[in-house]
Amino acid sequence: MPYKKPKIEKIVFSIGEVAEMLGENVSLIRYWENQFDALNPKKNKKGTRLFSKKDIETVKLIHYLVKVRGLTIKGAKQKLKENRDETINNFDIAQRLKSIRDELSEIGDALDV
């Protein structure tokens, strides 16, 4: 049996990688870091931001509130502070629905062959 290299899952991401995941600018992620207490990535000795999976989920939630739902920074802060669990639940539902829509779209495209 050939040696199978174990899959190593990445545990920290750079700010550039996080920005790319969202299709946003690095400067926007930095701005959100300054605006939202919930977003506080660790920094190494050189000052490079290291985003954990939890940090990325927070960034995605902020992105959803500000860019998708159209809330102001103040409104997004309030949502995270007062209704965090409900906001996360709504975000999860929106993500699942988007995934289903994308899948249905692919099926529709395949049927149009």
User: Which pLDDT score, from 0 to 100, does residue 1 have?
Assistant: 58
If you average pLDDT over residues 92-110, what whole number do you get?
79
In the predicted structure, residue 2 carries a pLDDT above the cut 80: no
**Predicted confidence (pLDDT) per residue in 45-84, tens digit:** 999 999 999 999 899 999 989 998 899 999 998 888 876 6
User: Which pLDDT score, from 0 to 100, does residue 113 have?
Assistant: 58
Task: List the single range of 2-6, 20-24, 30-34, 48-52 with lowest mean pLDDT.
Answer: 2-6
Q: Would you list the DSSP string of the chain? A: ----PPPPPP--B-HHHHHHHHT--HHHHHHHHHH-TT---EE-TT--EEB-HHHHHHHHHHHIIIIIS---HHHHHHHHHHSHHHHHHHHHHHHHHHHHHHHHHHHHHHHT-
**Domain map (residue ranges) of the chain:** 15-111
Task: List the single range of 12-16, 17-21, 81-85, 95-99 with lowest mean pLDDT.
Answer: 81-85
If you average pLDDT over residues 19-35, what whole number do you get?
95
Choose which CATH entry (1.10.1660.10, 2.60.220.10, 3.40.190.10, 3.40.50.10470) describes domain 15-111: 1.10.1660.10
